[in-house]
Chains A and B, each alone.
Chain A
Amino acid sequence: MAVEIGGIGHSVKRKEDARFIRGKGKYVDDVKLPGMLYLDIARSPLAHARIKNIDTSKALKIPGVVAVITGKDLVPLNLHWMPTLMSDKQMVLPTDTVLYQAQEVAAVVATERYIAADGVDAIEVDYEPLPVVVDPIKALQPGATLVREDREQKDNHIWHWEVGDKAGTDKAFKDAEVVVKQDLYIPRIHVSSIETCGIVASFDKVEGKLTVWMTTQAPHAIRTVIALVAGHLGLAEHKIRVISPDIGGGFGGKVPVYPGYVLAIGASVLTGAPVKWIEDRAENIQADSFARDYHISAELAAKKDGTMQALRVKTIADHGAFDAAANPSKYPAGLFHIITGSYPFEKSFVEVDGAYTNKPPGGIAYRCSFRVTEAAFTIERLVDVLALELKRDPAELRMQNFIPPTAFPYTSALGWEYDSGDYGRALRLAMDKIGYAELRKEQAAKRAKGELMGIGISSFTEIVGAGPSKNFDILGIKMFDSAEIRVHPTGKVMVRIGVKSQGQGHETTFGQIVAEELGIPVADIAVEEGDTDTAPYGLGTYASRSTPVAGGATAIAARKIREKAKLIAAHLLEANPDDVEWKDYKFQVKGVPAKSKTMQEVAFAAYTNHPQGMEAGLEAVDYYDPPNLTFPFGSYICVVDIDRGTGEVKIRRFVAVDDCGTIINPMIVEGQIHGGLTMGLAPALYEQITYDEQGNIQGGTFMDYLLPTAMETPNWETAKTTTPSPHHPIGAKGVGESATVGAPAAIANAVVDALAHLGVRHIDIPITPWKVQKILKEKGVAE
């Protein structure tokens, strides 16, 4: 029975595959409307410059070019600036100054994609270069080049944020037997979903209705933002329809609002024609929101016996020219204060300062809940530094310190209430699976021969499922999420949710939640999302929040239906509702299994034979405000070999043990972990965006921004433990990002471990072969 239902715990094959494997997915660039125009964008070659003149005359002469839009054209519409999600504002198009390379300068609207590109090529801009500041540390020094002349505050400091007990922490450090300190730079990277960003905006002048198809992870929030930003142009929220169709990967990069979206909407309103804007990859990497770029200084205080006592962290966050991150309003540094990780620090203090630089804006996630990778990487690296200091095995030191399973719910030194965990169990499983003891023996034998191999551990704690309305909002909108379920008379179901898949398989997994709750086969349940005209309001999919938040809403909405269905079942069974129970996916009269009604029978009755006095129909809505966040965790172990001639790091094995609470679909969860691990590998060894002193991006294409291929990616080995979340309706915690959060430290720790006997304590990521080879040379062990 259970298998037929396809409820929770089953590896149901994905429903959405049917269209994708036939090339019938409907992505934004696949939308083509009659009379549609194309928009392309001219961008600044300089990182900081005064615009002296923009000559659009040649572009306007090209047959097929309909319009050229500059910042000055947007001023009368008050659209030249737009708010960011972080109480800052961002230029849509500049009126006088550009603040980073690849910033939008003008837009060309044309009848064809190729003509729009020709138009962009024909725009001539006269720039007066201005001094550039690219380093946030220099940017915060007195007298630094001012990035934001528009602000009243005449320096590059955006905000200071701190949490924890400063005095108590300082005292703990003063009294500590052992203190280790490590500076880490977590470089600027880019999510680079294979589909870039884009929009088709279609404004119906007669109806006054704007319809947009857009690569967004949060369609409802976008609808509200459009209404707030462009309400004065007559765009009211009930006449704005945002459709997020199939999305080719999001990972955080499709949460913000980019100027191109606004320009396309504006162009459609002005021309009355549909307008499409699809960015190319260079624009995507060079101008869209980046992730990370944290300069961290971290200290850990401990006893000589290895007991961890206190953690102190100071960070400078480079936000580029605008603070266009997408964090909950209260947390400008995201959930970085999960940095105490899996350990029961008594005291901790964390402070972060945001800085403006002449670089593209952002500070979004890269497949990790808000700033959680920065936190997990720091603490897991720092634990290894402590292990080296104390000459302790890193696994043993972790085991000694883990928050014990009996301590949950556990309140961390920085104020989070961890829901559940069993960290030792996950690490033990990882060690067993990889053969930890044998590997240590092999390593010792190899070292004796001068060969370099390393074993790295990361026992991370994630924090996802934002979030409880008490503390979590974006632009004031509380971070609840929603589900609406309708059971049709024939027992088929329509589920609509406020989140939006970008590959996570919602059409399957949310169907499974409902199947489990209602006893209706998953094949009979349709899941819809991403259309604001039909889906209930929700905050969207990022920060691994779909299952923890919308998943909770879905389970509760289904339970509301079951409550009503029980009354109908009692009516059909001519029994007292108190005598009816839900068992084996059916309503049964207690103790009389033969007297039962299926949900399908009840559904039919809900429309044909419902009890007098009861409303007809069988549907429910739930807006779920989670009581707490969820805290997935895991332990990863990585084994690397190092080429002493070239400095290349080769990952030999990687075992990932994840615990994301109750698993809805094991196949999909494993797939999420594989992908997350690969996006953890990427910044550990390959990906980084850098700028020269003039603010020129170094390598803004896939030729130099190095996404791992199948050849770099190891054959990931996965395993799981299951510690359900006590507060979630189905015990699930979310899993999309755990692996991205946990993997980089395991890899970096493995490389450092391979070189630890030479006195190496840290290497900044990405660990390139030349960084390794330089160390090998310095230590006299290079080939």
Chain B
Amino acid sequence: MIPASFEYAVARDVAHAIELLTSSGGEGKVLAGGQSLIPLMKFRLAQPAFLVDINRISGLAQIRENGDLRIGALVREADLDMNPIVRERYQILVDTTRVIADPLVRNMATVGGNLAHADPANDHPATMLALRASVVARGPTGERLIPIDEFFVDTFTTVLGPNEILTEIRIPKPPARSGGAYLKLERKVGDFAIAGVAVMLALDEKGKVGAVGIGVTNAGPTAIRARKAEEILRGQATDDKTIAAAAAAAAGESKPWSDLRGPAEYKLDVIRVLTQRAIRKAVARATGGK
């Protein structure tokens, strides 16, 4: 499997990358971790005429807290996993990154790429939906902040313009007594999800759910946010009945399809089961457990 020929340029900085993309007249494609793009190119399913390599841009691979959590677009999955801040306060991100492909792929694959590729089977989209993240995009006319709810348009399509680059992901600071979890069922380790569910929630002093976000992987043309399920949980105690109702709602909002990862009907059940389990895990973590 050999990629078709292309032109290649290394971007010095974000401005240069944008300039390169602009000059290519829509033929350019950003090369970040390359772990989705390069296999597509080897099968010649993608044949970009021009690759803009952004890997050497400094400053895009940082993770820092500034009220919110800021993850540079070039942060590798393996680095997200190992980051002390993430490990300490964002277990849902650790859950997520650890089930993406395999450890070798995670050494190259970037968080930004996982989002920008807009594959509904990717894992970060659901988690970022649950976390109410936003992404920072820079283009010829400057920078904009895009709420994650508005980011995904369709399979492999985001709102990013052809000359725009995702530079950072921002995740709101988790409130007190909050916790999250991402659960994924896969046919074998390293596979894309049969289904995956991300739950992030905060509890008030009485144990009732405050802020809550639920995202689902492989449940439609893009990762989806299970709004009805969130609605059911909000303001409620996390008793079995409420959790079951929320889980059923999450399945109801999902539109998986039948494929080699199982029949759609099965996936709906998996989404329901994973939602229940993820809620329980998030609650446990919000209350100091694992």
Per-position binary interface string of chain A over residues 767-779, scored 1 when its CB falls under 8 Å from any chain B CB and 0 otherwise: 0111001100100
Whether a CB of chain A sits under 8 angstroms from the CB of B263 is yes
* One of B88-96, B172-180, B184-192 at the interface: B184-192
The reply to whether A709 and B260 contact each other, CB–CB distance below 8 Å, is no
The reply to whether B260 and A698 contact each other, CB–CB distance below 8 Å, is yes
The reply to whether A770 and B266 contact each other, CB–CB distance below 8 Å, is yes
Whether a CB of chain A sits under 8 angstroms from the CB of B44 is yes
The reply to whether A708 and B260 contact each other, CB–CB distance below 8 Å, is no
The reply to whether A712 and B189 contact each other, CB–CB distance below 8 Å, is yes
- Interface size class for chain B? 20 to 34
Within 8 A of B (CB), among A741-783: 768-770, 773-774, 777, 782-783
The reply to whether B190 and A709 contact each other, CB–CB distance below 8 Å, is yes
A713 to chain B, nearest CB (A): 10
The reply to whether B269 and A706 contact each other, CB–CB distance below 8 Å, is no
B277 proximity list for chain A (CB < 8 A): 645
Whether a CB of chain B sits under 8 angstroms from the CB of A117 is yes
Per-position binary interface string of chain A over residues 681-708, scored 1 when its CB falls under 8 Å from any chain B CB and 0 otherwise: 0000010000000000011000110101
A691 to chain B, nearest CB (A): 12
Task: Output the nearest chain A residue to B273 by Cβ-Cβ distance.
Answer: A645
Whether a CB of chain B sits under 8 angstroms from the CB of A114 is yes
Contact of B262 among A712, A770, A783 (CB under 8 A): A770
B187 proximity list for chain A (CB < 8 A): 686, 706, 768-769
The reply to whether B260 and A648 contact each other, CB–CB distance below 8 Å, is no
Within 8 A of A (CB), among B171-230: 185, 187-192, 194
Whether a CB of chain A sits under 8 angstroms from the CB of B4 is yes
User: A765 to B276, alpha carbons, bound, how many Å?
Assistant: 29
Whether a CB of chain B sits under 8 angstroms from the CB of A77 is no
The reply to whether B262 and A768 contact each other, CB–CB distance below 8 Å, is yes
The reply to whether B185 and A648 contact each other, CB–CB distance below 8 Å, is yes
Whether a CB of chain B sits under 8 angstroms from the CB of A280 is yes
The reply to whether B2 and A777 contact each other, CB–CB distance below 8 Å, is no
Whether a CB of chain B sits under 8 angstroms from the CB of A118 is yes
The reply to whether B2 and A773 contact each other, CB–CB distance below 8 Å, is no
Whether a CB of chain A sits under 8 angstroms from the CB of B66 is no
Given A121-B44, A645-B273, A770-B262, decide whether A709 and B2 contact each other with a Cβ distance below 8 A: no
Whether a CB of chain A sits under 8 angstroms from the CB of B5 is yes
The reply to whether A699 and B260 contact each other, CB–CB distance below 8 Å, is yes
The reply to whether B273 and A646 contact each other, CB–CB distance below 8 Å, is yes
Given A121-B4, A280-B1, decide whether A686 and B273 contact each other with a Cβ distance below 8 A: no
The reply to whether B188 and A708 contact each other, CB–CB distance below 8 Å, is yes
User: A280 to B44, alpha carbons, bound, how many Å?
Assistant: 14
Contact of A709 among B185, B188, B192 (CB under 8 A): B188
A407 proximity list for chain B (CB < 8 A): none
A2 proximity list for chain B (CB < 8 A): none
Whether a CB of chain B sits under 8 angstroms from the CB of A31 is no
A114 proximity list for chain B (CB < 8 A): 2
Within 8 A of B (CB), among A278-322: 280-282
User: A712 to B43, alpha carbons, bound, how many Å?
Assistant: 28
B267 to chain A, nearest CB (A): 8
A699 proximity list for chain B (CB < 8 A): 260
User: A646 to B1, alpha carbons, bound, how many Å?
Assistant: 36
Whether a CB of chain A sits under 8 angstroms from the CB of B270 is yes
A703 to chain B, nearest CB (A): 8
Whether a CB of chain B sits under 8 angstroms from the CB of A113 is yes
B190 proximity list for chain A (CB < 8 A): 709
User: A773 to B194, alpha carbons, bound, how many Å?
Assistant: 13
Given A280-B1, A768-B262, A769-B262, decide whether A706 and B270 contact each other with a Cβ distance below 8 A: no
A649 to chain B, nearest CB (A): 12
The reply to whether A704 and B185 contact each other, CB–CB distance below 8 Å, is no
B266 proximity list for chain A (CB < 8 A): 647, 769-770, 773-774
A199 to chain B, nearest CB (A): 18
User: A699 to B262, alpha carbons, bound, how many Å?
Assistant: 13
User: A606 to B187, alpha carbons, bound, how many Å?
Assistant: 63
A121 proximity list for chain B (CB < 8 A): 4, 44
Within 8 A of B (CB), among A642-663: 645-648
Contact of A712 among B1, B188, B270 (CB under 8 A): B188
The reply to whether B188 and A711 contact each other, CB–CB distance below 8 Å, is yes
Task: Output the nearest chain B residue to A774 by Cβ-Cβ distance.
Answer: B266
Per-position binary interface string of chain B over residues 261-287, scored 1 when its CB falls under 8 Å from any chain A CB and 0 otherwise: 011001001100110110000000000
The reply to whether B4 and A118 contact each other, CB–CB distance below 8 Å, is yes
B38 to chain A, nearest CB (A): 14
User: A708 to B190, alpha carbons, bound, how many Å?
Assistant: 10
The reply to whether A704 and B260 contact each other, CB–CB distance below 8 Å, is yes
User: A647 to B273, alpha carbons, bound, how many Å?
Assistant: 11
User: A319 to B3, alpha carbons, bound, how many Å?
Assistant: 34
Per-position binary interface string of chain A over residues 113-138, scored 1 when its CB falls under 8 Å from any chain B CB and 0 otherwise: 11001100100000000000000000
B201 to chain A, nearest CB (A): 20
Task: Output the nearest chain A residue to B42 by Cβ-Cβ distance.
Answer: A280
B74 to chain A, nearest CB (A): 25
A394 to chain B, nearest CB (A): 28
Contact of B191 among A648, A706, A783 (CB under 8 A): A706
Contact of B270 among A646, A686, A774 (CB under 8 A): A646
Given A645-B277, A646-B185, A706-B191, decide whether A118 and B263 contact each other with a Cβ distance below 8 A: no
User: A280 to B273, alpha carbons, bound, how many Å?
Assistant: 39
The reply to whether B273 and A117 contact each other, CB–CB distance below 8 Å, is no
Per-position binary interface string of chain A over residues 323-345, scored 1 when its CB falls under 8 Å from any chain B CB and 0 otherwise: 00000000000000000000000
A706 proximity list for chain B (CB < 8 A): 187-188, 191
User: A769 to B4, alpha carbons, bound, how many Å?
Assistant: 39
User: A648 to B191, alpha carbons, bound, how many Å?
Assistant: 15
The reply to whether A117 and B188 contact each other, CB–CB distance below 8 Å, is no
User: A706 to B190, alpha carbons, bound, how many Å?
Assistant: 10
Task: Output the nearest chain A residue to B187 by Cβ-Cβ distance.
Answer: A706
B43 proximity list for chain A (CB < 8 A): 282
B3 to chain A, nearest CB (A): 9
The reply to whether A282 and B262 contact each other, CB–CB distance below 8 Å, is no
A701 to chain B, nearest CB (A): 9
Within 8 A of B (CB), among A26-70: none
A39 to chain B, nearest CB (A): 13
Contact of A783 among B44, B260, B273 (CB under 8 A): B273
A645 proximity list for chain B (CB < 8 A): 269-270, 273-274, 276-277
Task: Output the nearest chain A residue to B262 by Cβ-Cβ distance.
Answer: A770
Task: Output the nearest chain B residue to A283 by Cβ-Cβ distance.
Answer: B1
B44 proximity list for chain A (CB < 8 A): 121
A782 proximity list for chain B (CB < 8 A): 269
User: A121 to B43, alpha carbons, bound, how many Å?
Assistant: 10
Task: Output the nearest chain A residue to B266 by Cβ-Cβ distance.
Answer: A770
B1 to chain A, nearest CB (A): 5
Task: Output the nearest chain B residue to A712 by Cβ-Cβ distance.
Answer: B188
The reply to whether A118 and B273 contact each other, CB–CB distance below 8 Å, is no
User: A398 to B167, alpha carbons, bound, how many Å?
Assistant: 65
User: A646 to B273, alpha carbons, bound, how many Å?
Assistant: 7
A576 to chain B, nearest CB (A): 68
User: A709 to B103, alpha carbons, bound, how many Å?
Assistant: 12
Given A769-B262, A774-B266, decide whether A117 and B2 contact each other with a Cβ distance below 8 A: yes
Per-position binary interface string of chain A over residues 573-597, scored 1 when its CB falls under 8 Å from any chain B CB and 0 otherwise: 0000000000000000000000000
Task: Output the nearest chain B residue to A705 by Cβ-Cβ distance.
Answer: B260
User: A184 to B44, alpha carbons, bound, how many Å?
Assistant: 39
User: A686 to B269, alpha carbons, bound, how many Å?
Assistant: 20
The reply to whether A769 and B188 contact each other, CB–CB distance below 8 Å, is no
B189 proximity list for chain A (CB < 8 A): 709, 711-712
Q: List 23 A-B contacts (CB under 8 A).
A: A113-B2, A117-B2, A118-B2, A118-B5, A121-B44, A645-B269, A646-B270, A646-B274, A647-B266, A648-B185, A704-B260, A709-B188, A709-B189, A768-B262, A769-B185, A769-B187, A769-B262, A770-B262, A770-B266, A773-B266, A774-B266, A777-B269, A782-B269
Q: Which 10 A-B pairs have the closest CB atoms?
A: A645-B273, A117-B2, A770-B262, A711-B189, A770-B266, A280-B1, A114-B2, A699-B260, A706-B188, A709-B189
14 additional A-B pairs beyond A117-B1, A709-B189, A770-B263, beta carbons within 8 Å, are: A118-B5, A280-B1, A646-B185, A647-B266, A686-B187, A709-B188, A711-B189, A769-B185, A769-B187, A769-B194, A773-B266, A773-B269, A777-B269, A782-B269
